[in-house]
A = this chain, B = another copy of it.
């Protein structure tokens, strides 16, 4: 797909979205999602993989809590991908990812994902352009496998915050006692690499676009949560699911 320039996309809600009205809409969507998730689980025909990526402090944890926290935990699993372990490093980069893909009937959330292997790794020059190209091709093949061979529907969310908002939030991690546990001394160093991260993300959007990424303006959490719930809702409605009858 044509290259997206993140600098041209607003990090705030479009005009016409009122905070209170939008929050009510989100609440309505979450109620319906609860029912749809039950149907997904009962039918066990489709699975959903939600990939959540974004710069530090873009609100990934909050999105997981507020958009998916109301669903039946029996049908929703979350996997956070951290720095790989020795065992994971002894395998190809998609090995630990594949092990965590959803079985039919399930919603699986990835807090960070295989995309880190063409993001943080490229920013820090652990992965050069030629290897990144090969990895993106492997990612496309892998996502196709999930989609074509297991009815896995993939939502890729990029949580789009401004650098200013990121700084506000990183400073809160120092100043607000209940956020201090999130602070990492490297947060500000990483933030200096903003423009390179942005470029690497734009590369992913361009080359790994089946399905396309959903750019979620995320400076305001209420809009971010609405847009994610709305996309999940649209996807689940489109599946035309039915409760299975009695087993014969």
Per-residue contact bits, chain A 122-157, to B (CB 8 Å; 1 contact, 0 not): 000000000000110010011011101110100000
Shortest CB distance A99–B (Å): 5
Per-residue contact bits, chain A 87-119, to B (CB 8 Å; 1 contact, 0 not): 100111111001101111110000000000000
Identical copies of this chain, number: 2
B residues near A66, Cβ cutoff 8 Å? none
B residues near A142, Cβ cutoff 8 Å? 141, 145
Per-residue contact bits, chain A 146-173, to B (CB 8 Å; 1 contact, 0 not): 1011101000000000000000000000
Cα separation A142 to B139 with both chains bound (whole Å): 10
Whether the pair B138, A90 counts as a contact (CB closer than 8 A) is no
| Residues 45-60 (chain A) with a chain B CB within 8 angstroms | none
Shortest CB distance A164–B (Å): 38
Cα separation A68 to B99 with both chains bound (whole Å): 27
Count A-side interface residues using an 8 Å CB cutoff.
28
Answer whether A92 and B101 are a contact pair too, CB < 8 Å, given A148-B134, A149-B138: yes
Is A10 an interface position by the 8 A CB rule?
no
Whether the pair B44, A92 counts as a contact (CB closer than 8 A) is no
B residues near A102, Cβ cutoff 8 Å? 91
Chain A residues within CB distance 8 Å of chain B: 44, 87, 90-95, 98-99, 101-106, 134-135, 138, 141-142, 144-146, 148-150, 152
10 A-B pairs with CB atoms under 8 Å apart are A90-B104, A90-B106, A91-B101, A91-B102, A92-B146, A92-B152, A94-B98, A135-B149, A138-B148, A141-B142
Having A92-B101, A134-B148, one finds 6 other A-B pairs with CB under 8 Å, namely: A90-B103, A91-B101, A91-B150, A94-B149, A98-B98, A138-B149
